[in-house]
Structure formats: C-alpha cells, structure tokens
Amino acid sequence: MSDKQVSSYEKVNYLLRLRKQIERKIIIEMLQKLSKEIQVDKYHYIGFGSVYFADFILFHKYLHINDMTSLERDRKKRKRFGFNLPYKFITLEMKSSSEYLRKNIDWKSNHLFIWLDYDYFIDFDIIEDLKHIARNVKPDDILLITLDADLPGEPDAVGSFLDEFKRYIGRNITIKKAKEKFPKILHQIIDNALKEGKKDRIPSDKIKISQLLNLTYKDTSKMYTYGCIFEKPSKSIVNQCNLRSLDFIATGTKVFQINCPLLTPKEKFHLDSGITKKKECIDIGNRTGLSKDDLNKYSIFYKYYPQYFESIY
C-alpha cells in the first residue's frame, strides 16, 4: 500500500464529517437488525481508529462490542494513537491491514466484523486483502470496505487503471463510461475479488456472499462503501431480519447515495418538529427557503442527521 505524506486525519477532523457520520449511523441500524439472528455484541471488531476512534466509540455504545482492534501503519505516531484510545479494551496494532490479516487473526475463534475504511484509491494490495478474507472467513462474519471513489481526471491515468484491472472489470469499458459509472466499477472489482478468493475454499466449507451495502457519500472526497455478510449457502439473513425494509440496503449494483443538505441548527430543529411523512417535511419546510429537493433529501436522512455544537471546557 502506498504511503501518503500527510494522513487524512491530519487534514480533516473525522468527527465533523456530516455524511460519514450518517454512514456510521445507518451501519449501526443495519447491525441492530442483524442482531435478531446473530450476536453482534460478541463480535471482534477490526477497523482503523485513527486518532478519533469515532466508529469504535459508536459501535461500543450502540452495539455493545468490547472486543476491538485498531490498525495503524504509521509507527512514528504510535504514541499519539495510544494516547487517544477511548477505552482500555481496544487493542492497538501498528500494522497494515495486509500484515494483520495474514499473521494475527484467528479465523476460527470469535466472529469478525471487519471495516477496511481506506482513505485512498483501490490497489492490488487491497484486492489481495479481499481475496484473503474470502478464503478464511466463517459464516456470519461481516465485511465493510470503503475506498476513494474519485477517478483520476487525466484520460491516460483512467486508461491505465482500466488496463490494470481488466481481469476484474473486463475489456469493454470506455474511459467515458468509467467516469460516469465508477462506483459500479468499484463494486464489480470488489465483488469479483471476493468471488475469486471464495473459490479457494475447500468444498465442505462453502459460503455465499450476501451483499448489504453499496453506497457513496462526499464530505471532502467522494467515497464508496461496500458491505456484505458471509453465510452458509442455505441461509438468508437479509430475509430473516427484514433488512430490505431499510432504504439503504443494496443487494444489487444500484448505488445508494448519502446526499443530504447542510442545515443550520434552526432549520434542522424546525424540520424535525413536524416530520412524520415526506409531504409534511415539505409543507413545514416552505418557511425555511430550502428547495423541495433539499427537503426531500433531508426527509430520507433525518433520523441519522448529526448536529454539532461547540463545547468549551
């Protein structure tokens, strides 16, 4: 994996990204529904906590997970990562995801909830991580992966990308189509990498990949998240937990966009005071000056919409 000169956590406060926070909250709602069939609170969560540990804090508070490991590659910043650990039960591992997945995981013990929340573009190390996971996971293990979804603007760079990944996306995708449909291309690459890894399992250890998430959002950079649960071929937890009742669950190639307006506190409180149906949100929103499109978007995400305040202490 290529190192970046400046890590994203040093440029952006992870706690103040509106749409990223909405993503975390919809993941929590999804996992709460899954808890009807699986013991999510007993899972081992593996993620990238950075210095903020936002997902770790939320997953502990709302999913009651307390077996957690945070991976970090920048060994020079170990002291800072360690200082910011919010809970004593979080294990800090100064390793890349590739190294940890191959050397440190006991794939046969606790169930795993892995979120590879990368802040950069897909590469072949990531592909190998996905294949390794698919070879080794147990039924009911959960995987999320987030990637930079901004395709390079230069035609030569796009052409090179299409050529490098033709094994996973085929040869007939034009540069124009790649730019228009890039999240779908990322979906295709991830899906095919997981299926390729799954082929290496022994016949008596078959699993199926049940997709849960296929979404994009943009705070600073455009990001793409794919999510799935690995299941026994005879099982269908998506149906058992009625996951399709959630708007954001995506079991196919259609991409769900977290695309909501930025609101002032007064606007948010006004809309929340009367929202029970989309029409009512639009009706009471007429006083705000917000567009009908913004009101429609807010009505989809109002349950997950964060509100930020300055705290002086």
How far apart (Å, rounded) are the C-alpha atoms in residues 244 and 87? Answer: 34
For 227-245, write each residue's pLDDT tens digit: 999 999 888 888 899 998 9
CA angle 226, 231, 235 (to 5 degrees): 125
pLDDT top residue among 59 and 164? 59
How far apart (Å, rounded) are the C-alpha atoms in residues 48 and 64? Answer: 18
**What's the rounded mean pLDDT across residues 7-32?**
83
The CATH topology of domain 8-258 is Rossmann fold (3.40.50)
Q: Which helix (H) or strand (E) holds 183?
A: helix 182-198
With a cut of 70, say whether residue 180 has pLDDT above it.
yes
With a cut of 70, say whether residue 313 has pLDDT above it.
no
Q: Which of 269, 268, 273 is nearest to 297 (CA)?
A: 268
User: DSSP assignment of 107-156, as one string?
Assistant: TTSS-EEEEEE-SS---HHHHHHHHHHHHHPPTT-EEEEEEE----SSHH
Q: Cβ(222)–Cβ(150) under 8 Å?
A: yes
- pLDDT category at 155 given cuts 50, 70, 90 is confident
How far apart (Å, rounded) are the C-alpha atoms in residues 26 and 304? Answer: 7
So what's the pLDDT on residue 2?
45
How far apart (Å, rounded) are the C-alpha atoms in residues 130 and 118? Answer: 13
- pLDDT category at 254 given cuts 50, 70, 90 is very high
Q: Cβ(130)–Cβ(197) under 8 Å?
A: yes
With a cut of 50, say whether residue 252 has pLDDT above it.
yes
Residue 130's alpha-carbon distances to 115, 224, 226, in angstroms, are 11, 15, 12
- pLDDT category at 1 given cuts 50, 70, 90 is very low
- pLDDT category at 91 given cuts 50, 70, 90 is very high
Lowest mean pLDDT across 99-108, 141-150, 214-223, 281-290: 281-290
For 259-312, write each residue's pLDDT tens digit: 999 999 899 999 988 877 666 677 777 888 999 899 889 989 999 999 877 666
So what's the pLDDT on residue 69?
98
Q: Which of 190, 71, 48 is nearest to 123 (CA)?
A: 190
Q: Which of 15, 17, 18, 16 is nearest to 302 (CA)?
A: 18
With a cut of 90, say whether residue 149 has pLDDT above it.
yes
How far apart (Å, rounded) are the C-alpha atoms in residues 26 and 220? Answer: 20
For 47-59, write each residue's pLDDT tens digit: 999 999 999 999 9
In the numeric block, which tokens belong to residue 241?
A: 């937990």
With a cut of 60, say whether residue 14 has pLDDT above it.
no
pLDDT top residue among 22 and 75? 22
For 187-196, write each residue's pLDDT tens digit: 999 999 999 9
How far apart (Å, rounded) are the C-alpha atoms in residues 192 and 212? Answer: 16
So what's the pLDDT on residue 156?
84
In the numeric block, which tokens belong to residue 257?
A: 């966009």
Q: How many alpha carbons fall within 13 Å on the CB side of residue 79? A: 1
How far apart (Å, rounded) are the C-alpha atoms in residues 198 and 228? Answer: 13
Return mean pLDDT, the chain. Answer: 90
How far apart (Å, rounded) are the C-alpha atoms in residues 169 and 146? Answer: 19
Q: What DSSP state is assigned to residue 68? A: E
With a cut of 70, say whether residue 5 has pLDDT above it.
no
For 127-141, write each residue's pLDDT tens digit: 999 999 999 999 999
In the numeric block, which tokens belong to residue 119?
A: 């802040």
For 109-119, write each residue's pLDDT tens digit: 889 999 999 98
Q: Which of 24, 3, 165 is nearest to 72 (CA)?
A: 3
Taken in order 149, 155, 161, 166, is the CA torsion positive or negative? positive
Question: Chain centroid to CA 113: how far?
Answer: 12
So what's the pLDDT on residue 151?
85
